[in-house]
Each structure stands twice: as structure tokens, then as C-alpha cells.
Chain A
Amino acid sequence: MPQKPTQGTFDLATKYSPEFLCFPFKCLMGTYIEALEAGAEAIVTTGGDDNCRAGFYAEVHRRILASLGYNVQFFVIESLFKHPRDFIGSIRDLKGKYSWWHALGTIHFCYDLIAAMDRIQERIRILRAHEKNKGDFTRAWRDIEELFDTCYDRQDVRETEKKAWKILHSVPVELWDPKQAMRIGIVGEIYVTMEGHANQEIEETLAAMGVEVVNSQYVSHWLKQRLQILPWRKSHMEKIIAKAKPYLKLDLGGHEQENIAHMIDYWEKGLDGVIHLMPFACMPELVTQSIIPRISKDLGMPIVSLALDEQRGTANIQTRLEAFLDLAMGKKIRRAGVPGLAAR
């Protein structure tokens, strides 16, 4: 299991990656080198043949690592539906001498684990804005992560999740009026929206300003969409994707249509604004970014688009977030006419 990315990771990453490659590629590059230095023997990653660069990451990573002298084995997991043989093949290589039953059980266990953690994180994103002592939820989350780290089967996951909820409920929060709290949605490229260190812990920054956060990207949702075998079960995403069609006709291979759909969906759910995060020069998200001013105008909802890269200066994002929140707050007051808000 690789470590969380740090400044050192990013330094390694920028040193060995092509300059114009997107930020997630660089982060992975750094993470791989660190993991290999720590003794990793193989790399498991996802492939894909959509037209986002992510589908081709592994090929370039492998060659760069080889040129640095790391001849490491790559397990590239391709799409289950488009390349069923490759998918099964890579699982077979991975499972080695374990039985298929065991492999399936492991996949199921991993999914449950991720889904449980995602559920808890989703709640933390809302609650964190109201914590009494700054950093309580971050600490609680760290404890919960450690608990989950000791899970070995699905039974463990279920029990740990119960414990985790208990920890969560024991964190002191200030009472609040749900109508008054600002709620902001986060959409964007999957890596930078999920990896706190890549987005300069934007969720914590927002929480410190008293803003509840709804994030659109979860690993479990992504996995569910990729591995969903039952055709009659439709995910939330498939239901709302039609909303994006007038703005963007085609799926471009990233999450751009989903992001547009989420923006509209969040507006309909009464959120006060949306923050769009993307890595610098991300190909699909640049298209979203181009369309955002129009969506914002049509909906009358403040949307800000932030491009992230290895520059770690915080003033830029801080300033833009503050300006954005002021704007969203003004809008909220006008929309709802909540008198108490004006004083805050």
C-alpha cells in the first residue's frame, strides 16, 4: 500500500515526468518511485482506452521507470466490458495460486471496505464544518483509517464500520441550523477531487470557513460503475447524466459529462455553489471549464474552476475561495432571504 503523497513525492514526480503531462500522472510517478524504493515488487493500476490520457499512463510509466532502472512488473487492469479477456487475464496473473473463489471474495471485500469508508467520509464532509475544536474530525478520520487497516474480511468491515460511526458521533459539534449552513459541491477530475494532498486539503479549508462539502467523486462509485454486471440496476449517475447532454453531447473519456450533470443536480438539490477542480492541462476537463461560464449563467449558480498542479502556494486558492464564498453567500441570502446569515 503506497504512502500518502507528500512534498517529496511531488518533487520526485516533477523531476521524472514530462513537463506537460497532467498532475495525476506526476503524482503517480512519484508515488510509484517511493513505493518501489520501499520494496514494492509489482504495480497494480487501471488501464482503459477512452481518450483521456489516463488510459495510457501505465505504458509511459513503465518506460520511464525502466529508464530509471526499475524493471517492475505492471498489472494493468482493463475494462471488464470492453476487454473481458484482458480483465480476467490480469486478475488471473494477480491471483497467482489462489483460487478464483478467493479472488472474487477479495474483490468483494475490497469493495465493501472502500464503500464503508466512503460512506463515513461523506458524512464527515458535512459535519466537519460544525466541529467544536478545529481538527477533531481530521483526527477522528485518521483513527478510523487505522481501524479499517486491520480488517481482513467482510465481517471485520461491518464491525469496524459500526465502531467508526460511534467515533464519529462522539466528536463534539456545535448545534447548527441546517438552513443557514452553506453547502458547496465539489466536482472535477477524480484524482484531484479525492486526494486531499493534491488539492491542498480544499475540504478542510472550506470546513474551516464553515462550509459543508458534498463531493461528487468516490472510489466506490467509480468501481460500482465499472463492475456493475446487473443491467437493470442504474446508478445515480446514469439517472442524472441526461442533464448534461444539452451542454456536452458526448462522453469525452473523462468525467466531464458527469461533472456537468452533477453541477445541475446540485443546483436542483439546493446547494449554494460548485467548485470545479481539475489538474492543469487536463484534456477532458478543459472542455468542461470552457462550458462552465455558460452553465453558471444559465443556472444562476456561482461555479469556480480551479486548476491544480505541483505549485504548492496556498494564497491563490485561498483568495479565490474567499471571493467565491462571498459571492455564493450573497446569492444565498438573496435567494432564501435568511436574515440571520447577513450578520455572520
Chain B
Amino acid sequence: MGGMGGGIILIPALTLLGIDIKHAIAISILSVIATSSGSASAYARDHITNLKVGMFLEMFTIAGAIAGARITLASSPRPLYVIFGVVLLASWVALLMDKHPSGQKFTQQDAFTHWLELEGSYPDFVTAQTVEYKAGRAYLGAPLMFGAGIVSGLLGIGAGAVKVLIHDLVMGLPPKVSTTTSNLIIGVTALAGTSVYLAAGLINPGLAVPVILGVVAGAFLGTRLLVRLTNQAVRLFFLVILLVMAAEMITRGLQGI
């Protein structure tokens, strides 16, 4: 699902069916493990995913996810939905303004990112060429990914769009690499969150099983599609999704659930 686990659509749907929001969040984050692992599998085997970028950033997202899930267990997250919606809206504007989202951002790396060996190449199936790239500003990406981890644990979503934005705009990864690597990170981040919710007794198999089966079916179709799209099409897709997400989150926070 384009770097996203689908929790964004899933959680409102579950709450509309009358399921308590915390249970919906817990089940969503469990199903996110399935979708992101399924998608990440195909991308890794196609050698698009950057495992080093993934491993480095995962250190920060899992810590964030545990913290985020704890916050949800302890409090009512309503005001945070509004803040999240506003952040998404700001990110949407930033992505819209960016004139060269697929261009090579960093020809010269900073010392820290270079030390982290965050660079690579991937095969582009549309142009049939190998694209080389260097990432940058890992010192900025890392704390931001901790924040993305909090959002993920807090709201029970993969927070793929936020992760993709950090990869794209801060670290200068090509859109395909950022989307696929975000998928890899989401699986591990969701596991950290799921553990907290499982220990709290919020994972109900009767709800989780049908949700997992349904969501996986949809995600596998999305993966087959993304590999064949151009960077431009992927960007357009995210512009639409981000706007929908922002509107949804703000409305939810303001109206209360």
C-alpha cells in the first residue's frame, strides 16, 4: 500500500463498527506487521530497499513506538489527533512545493551520514537502469524518526507517510527507496507497539483474525502495482493520500469519537 500499512483507513472503519478505539488501534498495529512485512518482502527481493538506512532508523522508531503505545494506554489521545493532522497537512504542503522530489539531493554527504554508509543503488524497472544515490542529514532524520515511531505506537498505524516524508525531504532518498525502506521499518516498529498492546490485553483474536486476513489481501495487490509505477506517479499518489489523512485526523480530533 505505497509504504503505508493501511491503519489510516482501518481504524476509522473499525470504530464505525462500534469497536473501542484502543482495541481498534491495537488490532490495526498488529495487522500492520502483516502488511508491511508482506510488502517489504517483495521490495527487498527486488533490491530496492536500503537495509542500512532501515536498520539505523529502526533504533529510533521502536523506542518511539513503545513510548507512543504507553501514552495511548495511559491517556485520551484526542488532542494529539489534531496535532498529527496539522503536521500531515504541513508535510503535504512541503511535498507539494518541492519542485524536484525525485532529483539527486546530496552529491556531497555530511560526515555523520557518510560514517553511517547511507548510500546505495537500486534497479529502476521503468527506465531499466541502475540508479545510484547518497542519503544525507541522518542526524536530523534520526530524531524525526523517533517522532514517527511515537505516532505509530500512539495511533496504531504504520505512519508510513510520515516516514516517507522524512526519507524524501530530510534525507534525500529517491521516492521508491524511501517508500520501500519505510515499509521495512514499519514492520519492526509495529511489533514494538503490538507488544505493548498485547501485554495490556487489547489484542482480541476474534477481531484480529478477520482484519489481518482482509488487510493482507489488499496490501499484496498494492505491492505488485508500485514496482511498475514512475517516481512521479508515486509522488502524486502520496499527495492525494496525505491530504485525505490530514482531513480525516483533524475532523476526528475536533469532533471526538
Specify whether A and B are partners.
Answer: no
B interface with A by C-beta (< 8 Å): none
Residues of A in contact with B (beta carbons under 8 Å apart): none
